[in-house]
Structure 1
């Protein structure tokens, strides 16, 4: 592996050991999660836990990286596609698969080994549950999601990358998830329906999430920080700090919801 990693030596002399020993989790292996799995494999991470209950369908063909047309008829589990992609890059990698909801994995020792979990979930309530689990277990959670929202003058916001670090602010602190969001979601009120997905934007969000994870696990930078929340501007094709980040930094980034 020495020659393989020679062009990413700036990540630190110990990063080879990190990639061989640290387990990373991917909860939700579809549009964003499939990008993440491929990227982590190209970095050289050798231990994975992939969790997704669904099979590959025709609606996934335009966004799930590694999915094939024949997977539609075969009803291939998404976690199997993840394993196929990762092992196609790293045949000796260890890929633990769970074709189930992540809640069914919380007692699995391999799931509990994860230092970082990357999540691509569809709803706020499930995000809250996963965040609570990760913070209780001291696991860093990096969430990505693509959600097209049109404001005035056809300006589009198209998703986010946000981190919940055990030592930093949580999703509620950063106003990513509010009580109103949960209330509206529970009553099925508001902007519901098929979630828009574009592979290239999922890729942008996933690239940012994986790069953040690598920064946290490597010697790339000294000041790693515990707050991260960026939103994607679909008109300007730009990732920007959410306004809440500066406010949080000024207040010391202490979480008021998890003690």
Structure 2
């Protein structure tokens, strides 16, 4: 029996809550591998996890739990995620999805929250629409590295998209031009530089938002959240875009429209 006494401040029922809550994780690469590791340490026992990729040598600078042997054997990333989860908890329930997450709608519908660690705009759009359709809080993380003159800037975001509140279209993270450009490249999000520490910062922040959703240790989030990460100054701060949205309703998902009506049919 694991001892969770040092996280007792989360609330007297927090261990039971974390044992019963179902979390979805889409993408268990650089960011998602941090997510499942932290969920496992904190006591989450029920998962729906989707990823169709295998471990390669170039993943080893950021993929938590992966080894050189995994890369040599092209082990599915989802197997690494399961190994992490089962290595920390007994009696866990894992629904692995090694195909596109859209083929496992019935499993993801059961989730109390879903975390997206994906590269493409279209994938983010589909995940958010799905979560709005079924009133599931959606947490999104992402990062990129941009060349500015002779230097590089690390930037990223953590978003909590709450049903009935502002969405990622409102925040400017999704727009028609970006999705259309991606479609012209056949949905390829392209090669994005990745290193382990920004992914860790973003994943830890996402887990913190999740904990505020499900345990009573802190004021619960009833509204959407947009946090910006500056990897050069090592800061995470609320985006000014949310201030501009204050008092305005989301025009993309009205009270009578819950996402894409085709999902789940």
TM over 0.5, yes or no?
Answer: yes
Q: Matches of 2:162 and 2:84 in 1, distance apart?
A: 28
Match of 1:251 in 2: 247
Farther-moved stretch of structure 1 (149-158 vs 230-239): 149-158
Q: 2:180 aligns with which of 164, 171, 183?
A: 183
Cα separation, 1, equivalents of 2:38 and 2:204: 7
User: Deviation at 1:149?
Assistant: 2.4
Whether the 8 Å contact between 2:54 and 2:75 is mirrored in structure 1 is yes
Distance in 2 separating the partners of 1:229 and 1:82: 27
Query: Partners in 2 of 1:173 and 1:139 — Cα distance?
Result: 18
What's 2:98 paired with? 99
Contact 1:157–1:231, Cα closer than 8 Å, also in 2: no
In structure 2, list runs of 5 or more residues that go unmatched. Answer: 255-265
Secondary structure of the residue that 1:200 maps to in structure 2? helix
1:124 aligns with 2:121: yes
Structure 2: distance between partners of 1:211 and 1:241: 14
Superposed counterparts of 1:70-85, under 5 Å: 70-85=69-84
- Structure 2 vs 1, CA of residues 118 and 192 (structure 1 numbering), >3 Å: closer, same or farther? closer
What corresponds to 1:52 in structure 2?
51
TM-score by length of 1: 0.92
Classify the secondary structure of the residue corresponding to 1:83: helix
Which of 159, 163, 168 matches 1:166? Answer: 163
Are 1:28 and 1:121, in contact at CA under 8 Å, matched by a contact in 2? Answer: yes
Choose which of 204, 212, 215 in structure 1 pairs with 2:212: 215
Distance 2:89 2:211 in 1: 18
- Deviation beyond 6 Å, 4+ runs, structure 1: none
Matched, 1:194 2:185: no
Cα offset for 1:101? 1.0
The aligned runs of 1:236-247 (5 Å cut-off) are: 236-247=233-244
| SS in structure 2 at match of 1:106 | helix
Q: How does 1:102-113 map to 2 (within 5 A)?
A: 102-108=101-107, 111-113=108-110
What's 1:17 paired with?
16
Structure 2 Cα separation of the partners of residues 205 and 130 of structure 1: 18
